[in-house]
Structure 1
Amino acid sequence: MRLVFSFIAAAALGACTVETAETPASKPAPAPTTTTKAGSPPKVSSRTAVANFKAVVRQVEPVAEQECRARAPDLNCDFKIVVDERTNQPPNAFQTLDKSGRPILGFTIALIADARNRDEVAFVMGHEAAHHISKHLAKQQQTAMGGAIIGGIIAASVGLDVNAGQQLGGTVGARAYSKNNELEADALGTVIAKRAGYDPVRGAEFFTRIPDPGDRFLGTHPPNASRIETVRKVNSQL
């Protein structure tokens, strides 16, 4: 496997692009961590965060590619992993496609810095890869389109603005479906992280440090407790 990193900021996390090729995954060496008195691991240094990220990419990307080829052979499974160099962006990770259809897994600097151990990085990376493998982008677009059509029809039937009805219908359709997408990605992300040699249950502790969306009607993510329970359940079956 070949990794190419291009760091922009000195002595800090910088922008990088990771190009990977399919190679067998080996057992990762655990990164040493310490815990606070409250039992929550402290933030790691920038140097450690970079080392953790690089190690996880080497281990997780090949496994994600293997799962992709096995589960969705019709997809482009050549994952490209990138880091958003903007320092003003909040902790976030995302999955998208480039113009050629190649899957992109993106991470902000803040997310990499906030991850307390390699298990958390591995779980997030597996989760984002799972979105691609499960074809969530295409499914969500279809759901939004269907919601927009239904919303427009309902609006027209009761004499309301059709455009407004389409917009609301599309929003409701996309967001309602996205909660299922997240839980499905959590489940498959657990499989990917585990098969790459990491502890997904420990990785899912990341959810304990982010705001809980609860169970809002138009929320895009399910409650954190539901996500952690999904990870534990799937992990117990592996």
Structure 2
Amino acid sequence: MLFRFLILAALVPLAACQTTTASAPEKASAASFEPLPFRGAASTAGFSTVVARVEPVAERECRRRTRGVNCDYKILVDDRPNQPSNAYQTVDKEGRPLIVFTKALLNEAQNGDEIAFVMGHEAAHHIEGHLQSTQTNAAVGALILSGLVAASGADPSLISNAVDVGAMLGSRTYSKQYELEADRLGTIIAHNAGFDPIRGAVFFQRIPDPGDAFLGTHPPNQDRIRIVHQTARGF
């Protein structure tokens, strides 16, 4: 009974923290998004200018660090109403990497360095293979937890729920590590594109701090700022 109680407790939904740079859990259709001119506080640099400078650098880093990976990034703005401040990396149905910004994030950015840093961060997720790794971790977690629940004699409904919980637990196993890896490489990409990643990382000082939450998807903001400064010292 204790084992069954623990599984049921695990099925209680966990509170989600607000994030600003996260990999999308599902593939997005490019048809759902419209490229827009940048109209936020960083309009002096211009969103299109940031894209023009960062995209080729990200693609060059991608080709240099990977083999057999599609490095032809497409940068998009999600203009659907009421979307939260966010940016994420995903792929389209052909496997082309997409970096998607919501309008809310662009409107909150204060300069081109912040946009360049976020763009470099999302490009880094693709280069590091984090989306694929997260999907694999989710599949393994679902298999393990559902297997344990099934072995306990649980009914099919509980086993089905265990698949979902296991996938969630698996997907978060290394998520904080992946974010810090993307911050490190994103710092390099932004710098090589001629932007200031330290100035760009000031963005973290204005967003909610997730802290070091158990099963959280993102590390504390201070840890992220620290790795940006550590990486930048090598330039």
Please give the root-mean-square deviation of Cα atoms over the aligned residues, in Å. Answer: 2.0
Given the alignment, which residue of 138, 160, 164 partners 2:161?
164
Q: Equivalent of 2:75, from 81, 105, 122?
A: 81
The answer to whether structure 1 residue 227 and structure 2 residue 221 are counterparts is no
> Residues 47 and 153 of structure 1: is their aligned pair in 2 closer, same or farther, counting only changes over 3 Å?
closer
Contact 2:41 2:109 in 1 (8 A): no
The yes-or-no answer on 1:208 pairing with 2:205 is yes
The one-letter code of the counterpart of 1:134 is E
Partner of 1:24: none
Counterpart pick for 2:128 among 134, 156, 173: 134
1:104 counterpart residue number: 98
Asked if structure 2 preserves the Cα contact closer than 8 Å seen for 1:87 and 1:110, the reply is no
User: Any conservation in 1 of the 2:99–2:119 contact (CA below 8 Å)?
Assistant: yes
Question: Counterparts of 1:1-238 in structure 2 under 5 Å?
Answer: 15-16=34-35, 46=40, 48-49=42-43, 51-160=45-154, 161-238=158-235
1:67 Cα offset (Å): 0.1
SS at match of 2:98: strand
Q: CA deviation at 1:105?
A: 0.7
AA at the equivalent of 2:147: I
Indicate if the aligned counterparts of 2:72 and 2:96 stay in contact, CA closer than 8 A.
yes
Larger RCO, structure (CA 8 Å, separation 6 or more): 2
C-alpha contact (below 8 Å) 1:151/1:167 kept by paired residues:
no
For residues 49 and 89 of structure 1, the distance between their equivalents in structure 2, rounded to whole angstroms, comes to 20
Deviation at 1:167, TM superposition (A): 1.7
2-structure distance, mates of 1:92, 1:113 = 11
CA displacement 1:112-133 (0-9 Å, x = unmatched): 1111011100000000000111
TM-score for both structures, normalised by structure 1:
0.79
3-state SS of 1:198 partner? coil
Q: 1:49–1:113: 8 Å Cα contact kept in structure 2?
A: no
Q: How many residues align?
A: 200
Separation in 2, partners of 1:119, 1:90 = 21
Distance in 1 between the 2:117 and 2:45 partners?
A: 16
Structure 1 equivalent of residue 12 of structure 2? none
**Residues 152, 121 of structure 1: CA spacing in aligned structure 2 closer, same or farther, 3 A cutoff?**
same
Shift of 1:157: 2.9
| Distance in 1 between residues matched to 2:106 and 2:124, nearest whole Å | 19
- Please give the secondary structure, in 2, of the residue aligned with 1:211: coil
CA distance in 1, matches of 2:42, 2:196: 19
Is the 2:146–2:166 Cα contact (8 Å) retained in structure 1?
yes
1:45-103 CA distance string (max 9 Å, x none) = 64852752111111100100000000013111111111111232121111111111111
| Structure 1 Cα separation of the partners of residues 202 and 119 of structure 2 | 14
Normalized against structure 2, the TM-score is what?
Answer: 0.80
CA contact (8 A) 1:147 1:170 kept: yes
Percent pairwise identity:
53
Q: In 2, are the aligned partners of 1:176 and 1:217 still within 8 Å (CA)? A: no
